[in-house]
């Protein structure tokens, strides 16, 4: 145990099941999904819905249960403030409500603060706290680690040991390192040894409209395949890819992507013509993007039931469940 400050957070009074073993099977309160199917069991759905919605809405809950949506795991959301403007859902409670209203049952959340703040320790502490206080099991924290900061290894340790996060999210372009940097390789190796999923955001926004004093080059992904090959057991998800996973990356290891920035008419169908469906996850990039964008992409593309289930939940569930 390092001499880092204790990051144990006070349990929020009235937060049901906080930290209970049943909700912590995969680290930070990750609810286990029943069975292999994505559809929620009706009784489970009713129990959860009644517990969260209250007695007054029993009728609507019952109606909703008859058409209970399949499980939907959003692997790309953020909490806190985008540095350049207020967003409609940048309050955690509002975001959680928005996600729930759209059928999201689990959301992997990082913090916008992780882009520019140097006190990453408190960024991750606040993230974990927000997820506990507002998500009621919906929000799963993915901590920030910046390998350009001194003693970043302890940030990684805290994510895993103290916050019990299942993964981390990296922003190499905001933190100023290339993917052939030795610290990046080391970070992937240490994260893998701890059984953490690694998410890497290629970009955050269209570079053409960046603030003149906050222009950030897109992450150059070319060195990534070699690093992945040298990190056996790595579980990596790329976020905010404008294009498809390259054949090199597909062959290099367990590398996946999500759909928040996939574009073009029928974009998800086109993506699946080049990338196997088991490598594609659902991601919205909310609240920076309107959440509905990602959901409508699944509607716009003609997808099979198997493809839909894989993207909506199965692939994310497997990624999180699989320990190196």
Among 1, 6, 22, 265, binds other proteins (CB under 8 A): 265
Count other C-beta atoms under 10 Å from residue 251's C-beta: 12
Interaction between residue 317 and other proteins (CB under 8 A): no
Among 4, 39, 48, 210, binds other proteins (CB under 8 A): 210
Distance of CA 250 to the CA centre of its chain: 20
Q: Considering only residues 224 through 263, tell me which ones interact with other proteins, judged by CB under 8 A.
A: 261-263
Interaction between residue 291 and other proteins (CB under 8 A): yes
**Could you tell me if 310 and 281 are in contact, meaning their C-beta atoms sit under 8 angstroms apart?**
no
Interaction between residue 292 and other proteins (CB under 8 A): yes
Least distance CB 285 / other proteins (angstroms): 9
In the sheet with 280-281, reading across from the earlier edge strand, the strands are 73-79, 106-111, 139-144, 167-170, 197-201, 235-239, 254-258, 280-281
Interaction between residue 215 and other proteins (CB under 8 A): yes
Interaction between residue 302 and other proteins (CB under 8 A): yes
**Could you tell me if 239 and 283 are in contact, meaning their C-beta atoms sit under 8 angstroms apart?**
yes
Among 35, 86, 150, 305, binds other proteins (CB under 8 A): 86
Interaction between residue 267 and other proteins (CB under 8 A): yes
Name, in order, each residue with C-beta under 8 angstroms of 304's C-beta and a sequence gap of 6 or more: none
Least distance CB 71 / other proteins (angstroms): 21
Among 99, 165, 287, 307, binds other proteins (CB under 8 A): 287
Interaction between residue 184 and other proteins (CB under 8 A): no
* Binding piece for other proteins, criterion CB under 8 A, among 30-38, 64-72, 247-255, 298-306: 298-306
Rounded Cα–Cα distance for residues 139 and 132 (Å): 8
Interaction between residue 88 and other proteins (CB under 8 A): yes
Query: Which of 168-195 are b and which e, b meaning 16 or more Cβ less than 10 Å from the residue's Cβ?
Result: bbbbbbbbebebebeebbebbbbbbebb
Q: Of 113 and 254, which CB lies nearer to other proteins in the complex structure?
A: 113
Distance of CA 84 to the CA centre of its chain: 22
* Binding piece for other proteins, criterion CB under 8 A, among 86-94, 136-144, 167-175, 187-195: 86-94
Rounded Cα–Cα distance for residues 196 and 189 (Å): 10
Site size toward other proteins, by CB under 8 A? 37
* Binding piece for other proteins, criterion CB under 8 A, among 155-163, 202-210, 225-233, 305-313: 202-210
Q: Of 44 and 84, which CB lies nearer to other proteins in the complex structure?
A: 84
Rounded Cα–Cα distance for residues 169 and 285 (Å): 13
Residue 192 in 3-state DSSP? helix
Q: Of 12 and 263, which CB lies nearer to other proteins in the complex structure?
A: 263
* Binding piece for other proteins, criterion CB under 8 A, among 25-33, 42-50, 53-61, 87-95: 87-95
Rounded Cα–Cα distance for residues 83 and 322 (Å): 34
Among 52, 57, 293, 324, binds other proteins (CB under 8 A): 293
Report cis status (omega within 30 of 0) of the bond before 287. Answer: yes
Count other C-beta atoms under 10 Å from residue 118's C-beta: 10
Residue 266 in 3-state DSSP? coil
Binding mask 1-20 for other proteins (x = CB under 8 A): --------------------
Q: Considering only residues 15 through 74, tell me which ones interact with other proteins, judged by CB under 8 A.
A: none
**Could you tell me if 137 and 23 are in contact, meaning their C-beta atoms sit under 8 angstroms apart?**
yes
**Binding interface with other proteins (CB under 8 A):** 85-89, 205-212, 215, 261-267, 286-297, 299-302
């Amino acid at each position: 145990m390092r001499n880092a400050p204790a990051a144990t957070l006070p349990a929020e009074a009235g937060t049901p099941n906080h930290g209970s073993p049943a909700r912590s099977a995969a680290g930070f309160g990750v609810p286990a999904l029943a069975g292999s199917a994505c559809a929620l069991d009706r009784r489970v759905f009713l129990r959860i819905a009644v517990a969260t919605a209250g007695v007054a809405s029993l009728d609507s809950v019952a109606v909703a249960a008859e058409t209970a949506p399949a499980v939907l795991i959003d692997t790309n959301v953020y909490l806190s403030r985008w540095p350049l403007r207020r967003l409609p859902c940048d309050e955690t409670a509002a975001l959680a409500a928005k996600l729930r209203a759209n059928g999201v049952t689990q959301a992997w959340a990082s913090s916008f603060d992780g882009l520019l703040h140097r006190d990453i320790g408190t960024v991750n502490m606040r993230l974990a706290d927000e997820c506990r206080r507002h998500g009621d099991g919906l929000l799963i924290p993915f901590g920030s680690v910046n390998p350009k900061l001194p003693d970043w290894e302890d940030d990684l340790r805290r994510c895993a040991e103290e916050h019990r996060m299942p993964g981390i999210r990296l922003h190499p372009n905001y933190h100023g390192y290339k993917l052939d940097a030795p610290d990046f390789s080391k970070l992937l190796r240490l994260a893998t040894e701890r059984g953490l999923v690694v998410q890497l955001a290629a970009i955050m926004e269209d570079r053409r409209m960046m603030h003149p004093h906050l222009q950030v080059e897109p992450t150059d992904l070319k060195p990534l395949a070699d690093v992945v090959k040298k990190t056996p057991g790595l579980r990596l998800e790329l976020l905010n890819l404008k294009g498809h996973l390259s054949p090199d990356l597909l062959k290099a290891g367990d590398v996946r992507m999500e759909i928040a920035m996939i574009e073009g008419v029928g974009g998800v169908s086109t993506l699946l013509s080049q990338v196997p469906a088991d490598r594609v996850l659902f991601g919205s990039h909310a609240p920076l993007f309107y959440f509905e964008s990602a959901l409508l992409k699944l509607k716009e593309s003609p997808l099979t039931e198997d493809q839909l289930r894989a993207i909506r939940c199965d692939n994310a569930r497997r990624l999180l469940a699989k320990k190196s």
